[in-house]
Amino acid sequence: MTKYFADVSSFQPDNLGFFQGLVNAGVSGIMIKTTQGSPDGDNYINPKSTAQAKNALAAGMNVGFYHYFLATSVTDAINEAKFFEQSVVNLGFGKDTPLCVDVEDPSLDTAHVASYVDTFISYLETQGYTNVFQYSMASWFNEGILNANKYPTWVANYGSSDCGARGNIVAWQYTSSWGGGSQDMSYDWGIFDKQPAKTEAATQPTVEPEKPKVENVIKLTEQTHPVDRLGIERPETYEVGSTWKSSDIVMINDEPHYQIATDIFVPLSKTEFKDFIIVKYTDDSPAPVFDSKGNWVQNASVSTGKSFKTAGFKVINDIMMAKIATNEFIPFEYTSGSKFE
């Protein structure tokens, strides 16, 4: 099956509907421009990159990033690479994220740009990034300005039945007017579906990773008197560090409580979960997340086994929810300690 990916910058939308439309059309990946130049030069960061990455993920897309290259020296190339890397770190993406250097600006010194690209890519690889590649038009590879054999290469060549270049070609941007508009589109031959290097271990039988398992175990962080369902304090005392199996989370005296026996509850604020939650939902789907007005928010990262720092809780639509982002809340029903199955 042919795989496609689009690329976007601040000229494209950043809303969820845009990315969902791409997915509905069979586009599974997205390359997002994050930076251009260096802090000493253009110092440009795509103002839409955060929302574009978030909503692309929410739509279920594979996400990578690219940097628009303007380096005029080796030192400048290193500064641009650091600038780009920091943007990826700030967005919360890891070392296996597809990262590309976009080499096409007419101001570039074509006699020396290849060495600057070497420096840029080398820096990222020494930082541990494992999926780094270059982009340019086919003519720059055919004229020897850049070497398509030296690095994985994403080549641009429009209006042709061929990508127009030979070498380590991992993607072909074949149009800039996909869908009748001004959207770039590319064939993916090894960016988002990159295969690991073949090793002896790779020939062994594949073992499916164990699915996340969430236990309803809570741990007390201070000495605690439990309460009954009416909020009346019970005489016994539970010690710091003691652990209990919870069967449900209920609201008592305007605070979430874990149920640890038939009519015995301990407040969330006295457990390790007062500052974070562990998602407990179905194996293959992200848990429902809502904004402060009760509107559903798509967030593909909120999946079973993932933990999130919390900033208190709020009752929304008569449901108590933990705050996991600026305006994102997850019902306690979908967290460790609940009776959700």
Average pLDDT over residues 319-339: 91
Which CATH superfamily includes the segment(s) 4-194? Glycosidases (3.20.20.80)
Q: In b/e form, how buried is each residue of 270-289, taking b as 16+ CB within 10 angstroms?
A: bbebbeebbbbbeeeebbbb
Identify the burial level of 49 via C-beta atoms within 10 angstroms of its C-beta, where 0-12 means exposed, 13-18 middle and 19 or more buried: buried
Computed over every residue of the chain, the mean pLDDT equals 89
Report the pLDDT value the prediction gives residue 283, as an integer from 0 to 100.
Answer: 67
Statement: the pTM of the whole predicted model exceeds 0.75:
no
Each residue of 297-310: pLDDT tens digit? Answer: 877 778 887 878 88
* SS3 label, residue 264: strand
Residue 212 CA to residue 225 CA, distance in Å, equals 32
Specify whether the CB–CB gap between 286 and 300 falls below 8 A.
Answer: yes
Helices (H) and strands (E) counted in the chain, each on its own, are 5, 21
What are the domain boundaries of the chain?
A: 4-194, 217-334
Q: Is the pLDDT score of 322 beyond 70?
A: yes
